[in-house]
Amino acid sequence: MKKIINLKVNGDIYELAIEPWRTLLEVLRENLGFTGTKKSCGLGTCGACTVIINGSPVLACLTLAFEVEGIDILTIEGISQKGSLHPIQESFIKHGAIQCGHCTPGMIMSAKGLLDKNPHPNKDEIKKALAGNFCRCTGYKKIVEAVEAVSEGK
Amino acid sequence: MRLPKFDYHKPGNIQEACSILKGHNGNARVIAGGTDLLVAMKHRVKAPAHIISLKGIKGLDTINPSSSLSNKDSIPLSPPLSKGNSGEFSSGNDTLTIGSLVTLQSVADADIIKKRFPILSAAADSVASQQIRNMGTIGGNICLDTRCWYYNQSKEWRDARPPCFKTKGSVCYVIKGGNKCNALYASDTAPALIALNARVKICNSENTSKEIPIENFFTGVGEPVNILKQDEIMTQITIPNNSSGGAETRGAFNKLCFREGLEYPVINVAVLLELNKEKICKNAKIVIGAVTSSPVRAKNAEEKLKGKKIDEALIAEAGKTASKDISVIPYLWASPGYKRKMIEVCVGRGIRKALEKD
Amino acid sequence: MTIKPDKYSVVGKRLPRVDAAIKSTGEAKFSEDIILPGMLFAKVLRSPHAHAKILNIDTSRAEKLPGVKAILLNKDTEEIYAAPDETVLATDKVRFVGDEVAAVAAVDEDTAIEALGLIKVDYEPLPAVFDMEEALKKESPKVHEFYDDNIPDNINVSFGNVEEGFARSEYIREDRFVINPTHSCFSEHHMCVAYFDSSGKLTVWTPIQSSHFIQKNMAYNFKLPENKVRIKIQNVGGAFCGRGSDRTYHYIAALLSKKTGRPVKLRFTSDEEFLVYRGGGKYIMDFKTGVKKDGSIQAVYGNFTIDSGAYLATQFIVLRFLALNLQMLYKVNNAKCEGKLVYTNNPPYFFHHGAGMVAMRFAFGSQLDQIAQDLGIDPVEMNLKNAVTKGYTTPSKIHYASCGLSDCIKKTAKQSNWKKKYGKLPKLRGIGIGCGMIRSGGKGMFLYDTSAAFLKIQEDGTVHLFTGLPDMGQGSYTAMAQIAAETLGIRLEDIIVIAGDTEVTPLDIGAISQRGTFTTGNAVKAAALDARGQIAKLAAGKLETKPSNLIFRDGKISVKNNPEKAMNFSDAISEALNSTEGRYVMGRGFYNPPITAADPKTLEGNSSLAYSFGAQIAEVEVDPETGFVKLLKMTAAHDVGFAINPMAVEGQMEGQIFSGMGQTLYEECLMENGQVLNPSLLDYRTPRPLEIPEIESIIVESNDPYGPYGAKEVGQGPIQCTSQAIANAVSNAIGVRIKEVPITPERVLAALRSKDRDSCKP
């Protein structure tokens, strides 16, 4: 049942033997040890497992690993290069947008997806882009402010 | 949550995909974006032994403005629209074809759709969340399964009750004593596409295809939800140029959700009006989604508007008519009474929004 | 916000969290991220019946499935009770849909799931009861045989004399309020990894608010010495009062590990979260309040009927909290509380945010607001008139050493433009006030309410701080580090916090009952003072002054009024180590509020030293066609004593306002025959970013004499105000009182219809 596939995660190619029913989230966390991508609802409702595929934020829990063979997959581990944080990460830290931190990686990936496509979104566009990400701690206010600050270069 | 086990197929063309479907006799499913199917599979609502990916088939993920398709069997091969390409229609008779694998976000963002079919763009943009729009496809959204809060539950949850019609049993928990499945069809794009007179192309394992009005795609019952046969796949959507001579087309997509973002609609309404220079309504389409097992046209309400200049009294009458004509199915937070009332409200708001430019 | 003079250099500052960077990258480990060699995966078989006898369990087929390592049934659970009325797995009877019947450990999740399907259980269904009023009838099915009614707990407590109070009243109102079940919705699901190693030591990795409780209970239940139970709390993905204690799943994983000798991971799916969550159940609250015509409260009577679901767990504290709180916010001399918890075949409840007090505050606050309307009194004035004040002692002998309630009310009123808006807003817009309070830790669970801390200082002057206080997102690591840094006069980044690992960190009752900042904060300060005393002794010799004459600040130790005479903190530490004495500086401290717990019968006594207070003013807009209520703005003031980190305080306030808005307008577990109809984040509608109201946070600092640097809680305080403020604003907008939350669109439309009917009456 297992088949060998090549996954391209954060620019590196991994050869894996996996079953077709494995989701990208399971493979990232269990086979490759990328536990920065968090697992929560598993049903596409919380966004904790958001990764960027081909430039667009998607849900790793509803993506079959087989379906993304050879495609560029970017996880939270891939956005902070050479030990320096991504500006969105810096902004989340500075603006108090992180509390328990469980939703944070997914939230940052969604924000990145938005800002890559639309570098200067307005507040409503930010809110809309983050609507697929569930946060129970912050009330989202400081998260939206953090993303806004990045877009304004603050 | 884990998926059940299955074999994975990635055929290179549609006919092959249809043949695999046929070969597995109901025990195979096509996967597009996966956002609906995989959730159902994790819940063990569906557990096909075979999953057929369409990602290996070329041409299904493009949006093409082209001349009217005379040869029904051909798949348009014109180059895909890149972002920012405004892709104007070359003449009034042209049509737009959208491959079934085009993501909802691409539909929402395509300039030509924003410009020519804003109600479709708005509908696609209103679906769920950024991530789901990036994954979910227009084809998947049209082929969306009906939903029911007794059905879209984990196996353990469902085990507490005898199976319902949707799970091959003989009860309906939504409408007590009902003799059919009353699950809700909650696609956002389908009402807009019906209002736009779109047609869908269906291919089968015999290597033939047909094109039917999307309005006829649905069965009207919760299970099965659409007319696709076991070996058929819906491959593209064609939208005709709706404007007729001298009339101005006005549209609105109005969706009511208890929260904005990540929610199926309580109700959605697509309105398309054709107004002549004197602002007389020449033609009207009112399509309502998420109130029954398929999108429904409020034909009597449409008739009320036709040939008249639309004013507040007429809007109210159209809303009331639509509400009276539709036998609604409740959903969780919305009782039948509430839904009926919301039809009235949202039809009214849709018409007003369509007229807003004045 | 007040601008503080530079009295302090670390506390009182808007500093980023110490753990923010690793949380932003996903490096921060949650229990789910624990992967151990040889780890097995567990799954739980649950009852499909709300109430049934178990006739037989056949595991023979599951046992034969390759990869299955152990199957656990009640008989294998060493007679452990996870709570007084709850065994680890069902004995001969199941009591709710989802009750735990058996568990499997297998080499992977897929195998464990498959094995569950192979276990055959024969049930004999029994009549079930889901409605509290039904459950209270004599002929109703009994959920637990141990009780001859379905009432596992009740209360009847009076303070003062309510009869006299009502007799003196000039206006009396009686109302029934209802709140419906809600769910905590943690981002990180309930889970644990348990491992009995070959030395017989049990290690448990789990998100929980208190490592102390669970360590004690698991040691007791497994008959292990306490030092052989190691609880390792990782980062915790939200708690909101819902992760207080050990639960059945901790024992299931531990027993499976014991059976197999391998680490076992048990994590619940999002569907299961709605079975194991134990959020708030349904509350029916009958309130009667008597006032003088000027609005001064003379007597309050509250009668609470609370759905406990199938098990009681630790809900017994709820009724006591409710009773006390009737006389804690307002100067109420006469209060009486009656109440009962009712067993039903619904999933067991616990509480969601502040031990039932959000419900009670919604009811009491709504009634008071209505009384103000009835009497033509401005609700802000009504609240001010009755507000407790600094130095006040309640009838139950609770004493307020600090209290900024009136300040909170006045500041929110001013900031929200209350006077210009109340009664003057356009149609369908409304404004409403809600007030609340909560204690900062306290006694009751144990005779002690102790937190301990210690710190060690490296030769370069950097510090490891050890506490037992977990961080569930509230920012306790940062607050504790700020307190230690300020006390030692060093920078925040010079401190690393190690917390919540019972093998490494000292005792702490945990992050419960809003005690962290106050109690652990005091312990940390004591530990830092202990270390500072040792350093001061040495530095005083060098700087030729008395130890008491030294100032520790910004990495320097200087002589008071003579800043030229100074030395670096790190030099002092290094010199201590390199002295003949070879002193390694370690500080230790603990804190236990010097009070006794309230009397368990009369509830009299001051069981906490510090109490926090707040007020919120909500502005809403109602759509009369759809019934939608939009919270436009919340102006909130909270008396936190002193804000150790104002940014974190704001974060807590914003989060709670948002969550409180969810409970009031959006969220409800819809129940049918004991099943949650909407067990997912899709259908259980927590608000999302597009619902963010405008929030203005005002931090009030009453400077508590007992708090570290004057600080009190900001745990579950702010949310006490939110529901009532929103409900009162809705009433103000539509002119009808909605007495049931959530205030759903349908409830709003029904209220508007009832108003139309009333206005048609002759």
**Sequential DSSP letters for B27-94:** SEEEESS-TTHHHHHHTTS---SEEEE-TTSTTTT-EEEES---STTPPP-SPPPPTT-----SSTT-
Q: What is the mean pLDDT of chain B?
A: 91
The residue in chain A having the minimum alpha-carbon distance to the alpha carbon of residue C478 is A99
Question: What strands lie across the sheet with C264-267, from one edge to the other?
Answer: C68-72, C100-106, C40-46, C264-267, C191-196, C202-205, C229-232
Q: Are B348 and B274 in a shared domain?
A: yes
Chain B: partners with 3+ C-beta pairs within 8 Å? A, C
Order of strands across the sheet that contains C550-553? C550-553, C556-559, C562-568
Rounded-to-integer distance, Cα B149 and Cα B154, Å: 11
| Domain final residue, candidates B201, B223, B240 | B240
Residue with tokens 């020449």: B282
Nearest CA in chain C to A103: C187
Q: What is the tens place of the pLDDT at every residue in C652-685?
A: 999 999 999 999 999 999 999 999 999 999 999 9
* Residue B173 confidence (pLDDT): 95
Question: What pLDDT, in 10s, does the model give residues C629-656?
Answer: 999 999 999 999 999 999 999 999 999 9
Q: How many CB pairs under 8 A join A and C?
A: 166
CB contact under 8 A, B1 and A57: no
User: Cβ contacts (< 8 Å) between A22 and chain B: which residues?
Assistant: 3
> One fold for both C36-126+199-239+243-263 and C283-443+600-760?
no
Q: Which chains touch A (3 or more CB pairs under 8 A)?
A: B, C
Per-residue pLDDT of C423-443, as tens digits, reads 999 999 999 999 999 999 988
Chain C nearest C-alpha distance from A6 (Å): 23
Whether residues B200 and B318 fall in one domain = no
Within an 8 Å CB–CB cutoff, is residue B258 touching chain C?
yes
Domains of chain A: 3-78 (3.10.20.30), 81-151 (1.10.150.120)
B311-335: average pLDDT? 95
Most distant CA atoms of chain B, gap in Å: 62
Q: Does B110 share its domain with B194?
A: yes
- Best of C683, C740, C743, C753 to substitute, by most chain B Cβ atoms within 10 angstroms, is C683
Please answer whether residues B235 and B317 qualify as being in contact, where contact means their C-beta atoms are separated by less than 8 angstroms: no
Backbone φ and ψ of C46, nearest 5°: -115, 155
Query: Could you give the strand order of the β-sheet that contains B63-66, starting from the edge strand earlier in sequence?
Result: B63-66, B95-99, B233-240, B199-203, B209-213
DSSP annotation string for C533-587: HHHHHHHHHHHTS-GGGEEEETTEEEETTEEEEEEEHHHHHHHHHHSTT-PPPEE
**Neighboring chain A residues of C18 at a CB cutoff of 8 Å:** none
The model's pLDDT over C29-85, given as tens digits with 9 standing for 90+, comes to: 999 999 999 999 999 999 999 999 999 999 999 999 999 999 999 999 999 999 999
| Chain C interface includes A20 (CB < 8 A) | no
Interface probe for B, chosen from A1, A2, A25, A67 (most Cβ of B below 10 Å), is A67
Helix, coil or strand: residue A5: strand
The whole-number average pLDDT for the span C534-552 is 96
Separation between Cα atoms, residue C738 and residue C16, nearest integer Å: 41
pLDDT in tens, A79-130: 987 779 999 999 999 999 999 999 999 999 999 999 999 999 999 999 999 9
Alpha-carbon gap, residue B233 to B13, rounded angstroms: 11
Residue from C347, C286, C366 nearest C322 by CA: C286
Q: C550-553 and C556-559 as β-strands: parallel, antiparallel, unpaired? A: antiparallel
CB B201 within 8 A of CB B210: yes
Mean pLDDT of chain C: 95
Check CB contact under 8 Å for C472 and A139: no
Where does the pLDDT of residue C351 fall: very low under 50, low under 70, confident under 90, or very high at 90 and above? confident
In a domain, B236, yes or no: yes
- The answer to whether the Cβ–Cβ distance between C651 and A126 falls below 8 Å is no
CB-CB contact of A102 with A38 (8 Å): yes
Lowest-pLDDT choice from A149-153, C228-232, C391-395, C577-581: A149-153
Question: In chain B, what are the helix, strand and coil shares in percent, each to the nearest 5?
Answer: 30, 20, 50
Length of chain B, please? 358
* DSSP per-residue string spanning C284-304: EEEEEEEE-TT--EEEEEEEE
Structure tokens that stand for C611 in this block: 């109490």
Q: Is residue B97 part of a domain?
A: yes
C687 preceded by a cis bond (ω within 30 of 0): no
Angstrom distance (rounded) from CA C300 to CA B77: 77
Question: Taking CB atoms and an 8 Å limit, are C271 and B153 in contact across chains?
Answer: yes
* A38, A130, A136 member nearest C186 (Cβ): A136
Residue C217 phi, psi (nearest 5): -70, -40
Q: Is residue B31 part of a domain?
A: no
- In degrees, rounded to 5, the angle at the alpha carbon of residue B4 between the alpha carbons of residues B1 and B8 is 120
Asked if the Cβ–Cβ distance from C745 to B258 is below 8 Å, we say yes
Give which of A147, B266, B11 is closest to C744, Cα–Cα.
B266
Verify whether the Cβ–Cβ distance B261 to A132 is below 8 Å. yes
- pLDDT for position C330: 98
Cα C243 from chain centre:
8
Q: pLDDT band at C445, cuts 50/70/90? A: confident
Q: Exposed, middle or buried by CB within 10 Å (0-12, 13-18, 19+), for C171?
A: middle
Tell me, yes or no, if C686 comes closer than 8 A to chain A by beta carbon: yes
Pick from C472, C648, C657: CB nearest A100: C472
The beta strands (E) that lie in A19-104 are given as 50-53, 56-59, 72-74
| Chain C residues whose beta carbon lies within 8 Å of the beta carbon of residue A37 | 26
pLDDT at B242: 66
In angstroms, the separation between the Cα of residue B260 and the nearest Cα of chain A is 8
Q: What is the DSSP letter of C495?
A: E
Q: How far apart are CA C672 and CA C678, in angstroms?
A: 10
CA C706 – CA C701 distance, rounded (Å): 13
Task: Inform me whether the pLDDT recorded for C476 exceeds 60.
Answer: yes
Q: Is B261 part of a structural domain of the chain?
A: yes
Q: Does B176 touch chain C (CB under 8 A)?
A: no
Q: Are C408 and C329 in contact (CB under 8 A)?
A: no
| Average pLDDT for C489-511 | 96
- The string of DSSP codes covering C653-699 is HHHHHHHHHIIIII----EETTEES--STTTS----GGGPPEEEEEE
What pLDDT does C761 receive?
Answer: 57
Q: At what angle do helices C476-488 and C521-543 cross, to 10 degrees?
A: 20
Asked whether the beta carbons of residue A131 and residue B42 sit closer than 8 angstroms, the reply is no
Partners of A43 on chain C (C-beta within 8 Å) are 270, 680-682
> Which residues on C lie below 8 Å from B153 (Cβ)?
271, 679
Instruction: Write out pLDDT tens, residues C298-343.
Output: 999 999 999 999 998 778 889 999 999 999 999 999 999 999 999 9
Which own/partner pairs from C493-498 qualify as long-range (CB within 8 Å, at least 24 positions apart)?
C493/C18, C494/C461, C494/C462, C494/C463, C494/C555, C495/C18, C495/C462, C495/C463, C495/C464, C495/C465, C496/C18, C496/C462, C496/C463, C496/C464, C496/C465, C497/C18, C497/C465, C497/C466, C497/C467, C498/C464, C498/C465, C498/C466, C498/C467
* CA gap B176, C679 in Å, rounded: 21
Chain B contact present for C480, CB below 8 A: no
Q: Is C163 on the interface with A (CB under 8 A)?
A: no
Domain parsing of chain C, residue ranges:
20-29+450-591, 36-126+199-239+243-263, 283-443+600-760
Confidence at C715, pLDDT banded by 50, 70, 90: confident
Other Cβ atoms within 10 Å of C760 Cβ, number? 7
State residue B61 phi and psi, 5-degree precision: -115, 35
In a domain, B147, yes or no: no
Q: Most A CBs within 10 Å: which of C187, C188, C657, C678, as the mutation test of the A interface?
A: C187
Task: Check residue B34 and give left, alpha or beta (phi > 0: left; psi -120 to 50: alpha).
Answer: left
Please give the Cα distance from B160 to B174 (Å, whole number): 16
C21 contacts chain A (CB < 8 A): yes
Question: Regarding predicted confidence, which is higher, C755 or B293?
Answer: B293
Residues B108 and B205 in one domain: yes
CATH number for the region C283-443+600-760 comes to: 3.30.365.10
Q: Which residues of C are less than 8 Å from A99 in CB distance?
A: 238, 473-475, 651, 655
Q: What sign does the dihedral A31-A36-A41-A45 (CA atoms) show?
A: negative
Q: Which two tokens stand for residue C100?
A: 């735990």
- Among residues B176, B205, B240, which one ends one of the domains? B240
Q: Kindly state the tokens that stand for C145.
A: 């045989």
B296 and B263 assigned to the same domain: yes
Instruction: Please give, rounded to a whole number of angstroms, the shortest distance from the CA of A130 to a CA of chain B.
Output: 7
Contact B156, C48 (CB under 8 A): yes
Contacts of C691 in chain B (CB under 8 A): 259-260
Residue C461: which region, alpha, beta or left (left: phi > 0; alpha: psi -120 to 50)? left
pTM: 0.96
Dihedral angle at the C-alpha atoms of C533, C538, C539, C545, nearest 10 degrees?
A: 90
Closest CA to C199 of C218, C225, C234, C232: C225
Do B231 and B273 share a domain, yes or no?
no
Q: Which of residues 338-357 of C touch A (CB under 8 A)?
A: none
Q: Residue A85: its chain C contacts at CB < 8 A?
A: 21, 24-25
- Residue C35 sits at the chain B interface (C-beta within 8 Å): no
Per the structure, the complete domain to which residue B327 belongs is given by 248-355
Residue C513: predicted pLDDT: 87
A105 and C CB contact within 8 Å: yes
Would an 8 Å CB–CB cutoff place A58 in contact with chain C?
no
**Beta strands C740-741 and C171-179, pairing class:** parallel
CB contact under 8 A, C240 and A136: yes
CB contact under 8 A, C689 and B341: no
Q: Is A96 on the interface with C (CB under 8 A)?
A: yes
Residue B139 distance to chain C (closest CA, Å): 22
Domain with residue B283: its CATH number is 3.30.390.50
Query: Across the interface, do A43 and B132 touch by the CB < 8 Å criterion?
Result: no
CATH 3.90.1170.50 is right for the domain spanning C36-126+199-239+243-263: yes
Q: Count how many domains chain B has.
A: 2
- In angstroms, the CA C707 to CA C646 distance is 16
How does residue A146 score in pLDDT terms, banded at 50, 70 and 90?
very high
State the pLDDT confidence band at C446, using cuts at 50, 70 and 90: confident
Which site among B2, B51, B130 would you substitute to test the A interface, given the most A Cβ atoms closer than 10 Å to its Cβ?
A: B130
Which residue in A137, A4, A153 sits closest to A69, CA to CA?
Answer: A4
Q: Does C688 touch chain B (CB under 8 A)?
A: yes
**From the CA of A33, how many Å to the nearest CA of chain B?**
18
In this prediction, residue C762 has a pLDDT band, given cuts at 50, 70 and 90, of low
Residue B132 is encoded by which pair of tokens?
């789901």
Please list every residue in chain B whose beta carbon sits closer than 8 Å to the beta carbon of residue C751: none
Give per-residue pLDDT as tens, C164-205.
999 999 999 999 999 999 999 999 999 999 999 999 999 999
Instruction: Report residue B271 CA to chain centroid gap.
Output: 14
Q: For residue range B60-102, list pLDDT tens digits in order.
A: 999 999 754 334 443 333 334 433 333 334 445 589 999 999 9
Residue C219 C-alpha, separation from nearest chain A C-alpha, in angstroms:
28
User: Is residue B70 located within the same domain as residue B135?
Assistant: yes
Q: Does domain C20-29+450-591 have CATH number 3.30.365.10?
A: yes
The single-letter DSSP state of residue A28 is: I
Mutate to test the interface with B, among C626, C630, C666, C688 (most CBs of B within 10 A): C626
B227 plus B305 within the same structural domain:
no
pLDDT reported for residue B93: 59
User: Rounded mean pLDDT of B224-250?
Assistant: 88
> Does A57 reach chain B within 8 Å, measured CB to CB?
yes
